């Protein structure tokens, strides 16, 4: 392509007429076609001199944009450039393995699902150079027809835009710069107020804990509602590393990915690394649940690995919510409950942000040092209360016998996680 700087055409005579011959590029085809256009008669009125024939032939070539270098490069990109799915593979590997700020595994899984389920099936075989506003408009129309929600559609569009922008030359400049027109695409608007955010009441939390059929499940829900932890943060707790000796303080510094239950030695944001203080009654229940264990994860699966969020939702929480007549919800509903309870009891915003792992929004919040006053934090935790009732402490003993299978040999049955 570097040698193709355009063309002026070749003048030749056929019978009593002169023609200009030139190569014409066709989008979507690797080979060019030979074009031949009339210039002037060879004899009589209208005959042109040789120089006039060359100039007119050149103007005809220009009219067909056959000598336009930007167009030549566009045709070349469409005909010989990578397909969308090829560039998507390059982009995905780059964002997950780059040295600086690689994407989190959970984000990578989400983006991978978007490519696999939507972007590649609908536009994977398109030349990357042809992925423009019209192509995205067609993608949006297909997703709307399938009943996808606005947030899902916008997420897919963002991934497609990122893939197109990832194609750069040796100087780091975009090969296919675009001015995206979301109005032309008719991209549906996402309204946060329309998003479903279920939050149980204190009575509902009490029922959920009471309906759980094992001490571990009861402790999981009580700790969610009484601490406001994210699911990955709670399942990443290790007894000897993240729980104080008196069981009244949790240290958050790692999470468990919801996809596959893999442990990650980082948190969602920098402000997610924090300490969370527990009400004395909840601390007593946690102490009963831990029993004489000295190390290991607080909550474990049958194989001894961190809990998988989906498993707990499917086998326990969703059936309980259905049994008590509550709408389906995830673990984040307990986090909303905790936030609402703290605000209802007029707890300082500085402490709410600290306990929930949110970043400060104003300089006044940045200047505040309430989070460093441990005594004040514990006092507020006790005064505010839990907002729900706990069952007797003996119900927090894990009574289920966990079955563990060795890599080789027959299955064996281990002792209960916590001795009665």
* Span 42-87, pLDDT tens digits: 988 889 999 988 888 888 887 775 545 555 555 554 545 788 999 9
Q: Rounded to whole angstroms, how far apart are CA atoms 44 and 8? A: 25
| Residue 194 per-residue DSSP state | G
Q: How far is CA 88 from the centre of its chain?
A: 15
Tokens of 394: 């003996």
The pLDDT of residue 71: 54
Tokens of 198: 């279920």
Tokens of 396: 């927090």
Give, for 58, the enclosing helix (H) or strand (E): helix 50-63
Q: Which domains does the chain have, with CATH numbers?
A: 10-79 (no CATH), 81-194 (1.10.150.130), 202-413 (1.10.443.10)
Q: How far is CA 184 from the centre of its chain?
A: 25
pTM of the model: 0.69
37 bridge partner residues: 20
* Span 299-309, pLDDT tens digits: 988 777 888 88
Q: Rounded to whole angstroms, how far apart are CA atoms 389 and 391? A: 7
User: pLDDT 10s per residue in the chain (420 long)?
Assistant: 444 555 778 899 988 999 998 877 665 555 667 888 899 999 888 899 999 888 888 888 877 755 455 555 555 545 457 889 999 999 999 998 888 888 887 788 889 999 999 999 999 988 888 899 999 999 999 999 999 989 899 999 999 999 999 998 888 889 889 999 999 999 998 776 667 788 999 999 999 999 998 899 999 999 999 999 999 999 999 999 999 999 999 999 998 887 666 788 888 888 899 999 999 999 999 999 999 999 999 998 877 788 888 889 999 999 999 999 999 999 999 999 999 999 999 999 999 999 999 988 888 888 888 889 999 999 999 999 999 999 999 999 876 544 433 333 333 333 333 332
CA angle 213, 215, 218 (to 5 degrees): 75
Q: Rounded to whole angstroms, how far apart are CA atoms 64 and 305? A: 67
Q: Rounded to whole angstroms, how far apart are CA atoms 398 and 207? A: 19
Nearest-CA neighbor of 210 among 218, 202, 220, 219? 218
Q: Rounded to whole angstroms, how far apart are CA atoms 381 and 248? A: 10
The pLDDT of residue 263: 83
Tokens of 22: 């030139």
| Beta carbons within 10 angstroms of residue 323's beta carbon | 11
| Residue 385 per-residue DSSP state | -
Q: Rounded to whole angstroms, how far apart are CA atoms 32 and 65? A: 13
């Amino acid at each position: 392509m570097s040698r193709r700087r355009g063309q002026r055409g070749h003048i030749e005579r056929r019978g009593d007429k002169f023609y200009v011959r030139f190569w014409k590029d066709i989008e979507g085809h690797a080979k060019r076609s030979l074009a031949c256009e009339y210039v002037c008669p060879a004899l009589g009125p209208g005959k042109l001199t040789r120089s006039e024939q060359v100039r007119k032939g050149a103007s005809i070539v220009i009219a067909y944009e056959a000598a336009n270098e930007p167009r030549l490069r566009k045709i070349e990109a469409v005909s010989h450039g990578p397909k969308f799915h090829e560039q998507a593979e390059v982009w995905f590997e780059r964002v997950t393995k780059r040295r600086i700020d690689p994407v989190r595994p959970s984000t990578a899984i989400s983006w991978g699902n978007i490519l696999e389920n939507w972007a590649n099936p609908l536009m994977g075989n398109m030349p990357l150079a042809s992925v423009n506003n019209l192509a995205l408009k067609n993608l949006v129309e297909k997703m709307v027809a399938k009943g996808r929600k606005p947030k899902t559609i916008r997420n897919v569009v963002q991934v497609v835009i990122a893939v197109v922008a990832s194609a750069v030359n040796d100087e780091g400049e975009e090969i296919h710069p675009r001015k995206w027109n979301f109005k032309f695409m008719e991209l549906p608007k996402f309204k946060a107020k329309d998003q479903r955010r279920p939050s149980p009441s204190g009575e509902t939390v009490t029922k959920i804990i009471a309906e759980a059929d094992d001490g571990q499940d009861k402790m999981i829900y009580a700790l969610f509602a009484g601490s406001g932890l994210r699911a990955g943060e709670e399942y990443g707790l290790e007894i000897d590393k993240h729980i104080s000796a008196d069981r009244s303080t949790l240290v958050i510094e790692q999470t468990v990915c919801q996809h596959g239950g893999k442990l990650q030695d980082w948190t969602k944001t920098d402000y997610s690394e924090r300490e969370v203080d527990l009400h004395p009654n909840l601390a007593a229940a946690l102490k009963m649940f831990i029993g004489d264990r000295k190390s290991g994860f607080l909550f474990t699966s049958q194989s001894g690995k961190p809990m998988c969020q989906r498993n707990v939702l499917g086998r326990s929480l969703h059936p309980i919510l259905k049994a008590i007549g509550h709408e389906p919800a995830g673990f984040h509903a307990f986090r909303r409950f905790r936030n609402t309870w703290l605000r209802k009891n007029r707890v300082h915003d500085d402490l709410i942000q600290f306990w929930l792992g949110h970043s400060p929004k104003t300089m006044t919040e940045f200047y505040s040092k309430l989070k460093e006053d441990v005594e004040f934090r514990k006092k507020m935790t006790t005064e505010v209360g839990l907002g729900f009732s706990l069952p007797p402490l003996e119900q927090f003993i894990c009574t289920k016998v966990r079955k563990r299978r060795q890599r080789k040999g027959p299955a064996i049955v281990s002792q209960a996680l916590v001795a009665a």
